Structure 1
Amino acid sequence: MWEKLLDRFLTGMMVEDRLSITYPDGTTRDYGPDTGEFAHLAIADTNAVRNIILNPDLGLGEGYMDGQVTPRNCTLDQLLTVIIRNRFKGRLPPWLLLANRARFHARRFIQRNAPRAAQRNVAHHYDISDDLYRLFLDEDMQYSCAYFGDDAMTLEQAQVAKKAHIAGKLCLEPGMRVLDIGCGWGGMALTLARDYGCEVTAITLSENQLATAQQRAETAGLSKRIRFKLQDYRHTTGSFDRVVSVGMLEHVGVPNFGTYFGKVGELLDPDGVALIHTIGRSAPPMAHSSWINKYIFPGGYVPSLSELAPALETSGLWQTDIEIWRLHYAKTIRHWRDRFDASLPQIRKMYDERFIRMFHYYLTVCILAFEHQMQAVYHLQLAHRRDAVPLTRDYLYGKTAAPTAKLPKREIAEN
């Protein structure tokens, strides 16, 4: 029964590429025209077929993790590219359309992300091991989109360029009080304190990241200029000249956008500037990946601008600039995956094969989301005053552009 349902499903979905499926009984069937891209998927177990039918996103990911679903004569990239391209162009069966609609409407309940739940969600991904992340991130442990001014840039250079670009948009001056919401392992806070002379308060919900960031600040001699705190943004008080948040809005959740941007407005001085760096959809909202939610980022969500707009409009803040980065994150994650794969001998000493397949699948899915779906990175520059920043972007690229931050010293990054 399950094989027949999958056969019917793929017959309607495959419209411009060729997908071959080898079923558990050994038979192979082709779907789609003999044009475009080609991929071959082998399914070893009938339970895997059933899981794909019931929830294709979750079933395919779990099947790959368990070794029950494998690409044949093609790479995982090629397989997922064919599936993604046809998923949005072909015809899906009614039961999947209904399930997707139900998951979409359930996001307001799934993503409530109360403070305790938010901390658990963060720990699920960020507190597994700093040693793992050191193997594939850049020296400064930036776990967000880099900024590639040209294709020849290394990952380290592109991450330095990202931080410098953000610093330029913040229009910093020495001595300014900066709040970093979701500071990660402290790279941005260290950069703003060391290279721009700012006094930084940096908050995170990850105990691992907090400990590493504090140690890095102490090693760099910056402990007096940076305060790292284990704190939810909703519990933060004070007044700041600048607010920066890189890669954290994706963890806020749809029900909390108004609270989030309201809090940014509350914490930001009347003359202040905020810069929010976030993944977003350049298309109408859709249900988040159930596989990503279960295994990678529980409670996470990539918002469309239409979902952010109401919260921005009621925050009392001017949208002084919105910039869109398109393929930068795909380039960034390809660097991460290359480094992850090159580090497999070390990683196998730390984790089992199921975890390794999960993480490789996660990185690959994310690459393809930025290459083949309507996914990008948004820079939301916000201020209380419309003239808080220059009226054009010339200040970012002309003679008055902010200086490029220096590469972090290796001994700082490794502590």
Structure 2
Amino acid sequence: MFPLSHMLKSFVRTGTLKVIDADGKEHLFAGTPEPRVAMRLTDRSLYHKLFLNPELHAGEAYMDGRMSFEEGSTLRDFITLFSLNRATLANYPLQSVLKRISRTVKRFQQANRVGQAQKNVAHHYDLGNDFYRLFLDKGMQYSCAYFLHDDDTLEEAQQNKLRLIASKLQLKPGLRILDIGSGWGDLALYLAAMEDVDVTGVTLSKEQHALSNEKARRAGLGDRVRFELVDYRKLEGRFDRIVSVGMFEHVGVQHYGEFFAKINALLDDDGLMLLHSIGKMSPPGTASPWLRKYIFPGAYSPALSEVFPVVERNGLWVTDLEFLRLHYAKTLNHWYRRFEANRDRIRAMYDERFCRMWEFYLVSAESMFLTGSQLVFHMQLARRRDAAPIVRDYITDLQRHYRLQEAERLKALREAEPVEP
């Protein structure tokens, strides 16, 4: 099983990994007794592939069934063991070389030019609304929820998130709001239901665009909420508020200047912008090659050191910054459990390989927020330093205010939610 065995001897410092090779022979790699994982490889080519690029080929091998787990071990156990030993792998000589090469070509990996960005979005978000209904909340929010309590349901946590964002936008009657990357429309509809504002949402997903406008019509908000199938870079005009949730990860580092320059051009002089994005607390790096190939082409979660300099160069004030650290791990766990509960239906829609691909995605992503460097940040931006109050109390006060009003104001919106298939 050389050269994989050579790498695993250095890699496993915490836990114990038993590998059963394609000939049925057992190999034991141990640092500490626990956790224990038993893995079977049925393809001899994996001995070299996993040695050369474990992050890519482990996911592919699991998708194809060439890597499986035994003796009570699960994919989650393997991902946990991998995460606990991640630093060791990063220091392995060959992996260090591959990381340097990946950083060199990062700009090409994250190319999201107009046109290409739509293709990248379609790859993931146009899988079908019926699919996403099977594991998202009823409002179909595909971004980090906000858990005020450990026992919050996914629906409660996602509404907490909407309320938090609305409070940071300081809603007032008559405001013109732009939602960049509007998803299935729940945020835009929430804002319009809670206050007499006009909201324009933009998306590159045809599936999201159609369903969002249908939801706005059914909720009786079609006169104040509209969704357009357009790249944000083609927009003109000015807005009092701009919000973007879960879209910045698809911009690409080389396009950050373009993004914040456009925000500056679209934002009114006394306006506010709220950016909700995945980021990381570690220095700049690269996206997982497996995630980039199979799940999110062109995506990347930035280090804050890659974001702040571009914000500064575009003359924007960071008026507030908040980190949601474990909230996405909780969100992903909810998605995973709902996905597994509907696995038979998803297999009938696609196939077992698709199910294993999404299982690998959801479990590995959750792990990155539990033991890796991933986090979610809320960055409030303005063109003027006094556009937001100078004391943060207003965020808490407005959340309490909105909570008291939600039962009445969201009634029509809840009735407009799609019926489960």
Q: Fold-level match, TM-score > 0.5?
A: yes
Residues 178/92 of structure 1: CA separation in 2 closer, same or farther (3 Å cut): same
2:233 match: 234
Cα deviation, residue 174, structure 1? 1.6
| TM-score normalised by length of structure 1 | 0.97
Indicate yes or no: 2:63 matched with 1:65.
Answer: yes
Question: Residue 18 of structure 1 is aligned with which of 16, 19, 31?
Answer: 16
CA-CA distance at 1:36 after TM superposition: 3.5
Q: CA RMSD in A?
A: 1.5
Offset at residue 89 of structure 1 (A): 3.4
Structure 2: distance between partners of 1:87 and 1:213: 40
Tell me what 1:169 maps to. Answer: 168
Residue 31 of structure 1 corresponds to which residue in structure 2?
Answer: 29
Paired residues for 1:8-407 under 5 Å:
8-72=6-70, 73-89=72-88, 92-398=91-397, 401-404=400-403, 405-406=406-407
User: Would you say 1:413 and 2:417 are equivalent positions?
Assistant: yes
| Stretch moving more, 69-78 or 182-191 | 69-78
Cα deviation per residue 1:36-75 (whole Å; 9 max; x = unaligned)?
Answer: 4221211111123332122111100000000011122212
Partner AA of 2:52 in structure 1: L
Displacement of 1:92 in angstroms is 4.4
C-alpha distance in 1 between matches for 2:398 and 2:316 = 29
Relative to the length of structure 2, the TM-score reads: 0.95
- Tell me, what secondary structure is at the counterpart of 1:292? helix
Amino acid at match of 1:413: E
> 8 Å contact 2:13–2:32 — kept in the other structure?
no
Whole-Å Cα distance in 2 between the matches of residues 48 and 196 of structure 1? 57
Q: Distance in 1 between matches of 2:99 and 2:39?
A: 23
Q: Could you tell me how far apart the structure 1 residues matched to 2:398 and 2:98 are?
A: 54
What is the match of residue 6 of structure 1?
A: 4
Q: Secondary structure at the match of 1:283?
A: coil
Does the 8 Å CA contact 1:275/1:382 hold for their aligned counterparts?
Answer: yes
What is the deviation of 1:410? 4.4
User: Residue 412 of structure 1 aligns to which amino acid in structure 2?
Assistant: A
| C-alpha contact 1:333 1:367 (8 A) present in aligned 2 | yes
Unpaired stretches in structure 1, ≥5 consecutive residues: none
**4+ residue segments displaced more than 3 Å:** 89-93, 398-402, 405-411
Code of the residue aligned with 1:25 in structure 2: it is D
Q: Is the 8 A contact 2:287 2:300 kept in 1?
A: yes
Change in 2 beyond 3 A, CA 1:373/1:120: same
CA distance in 1, matches of 2:342, 2:7: 38
SS in 1 for 2:3: helix
Say if 1:207 and 1:91 are closer, same or farther in 2 by CA, change over 3 A.
closer
Q: Residues 17-50 of structure 1, C-alpha deviation per residue, up to 9 Å, x if partnerless?
A: 2111111111111112233422121111112333
Q: Which amino acid aligns with 2:329?
A: A
Deviation at 1:348, TM superposition (A): 2.0
Cα contact 2:167–2:398 (8 A) shared by 1: no
Deviation at 1:95, TM superposition (A): 2.2
Q: Secondary structure at the match of 1:310?
A: helix
The separation in 2 between residues aligned to 1:361 and 1:63, in whole angstroms, is 11
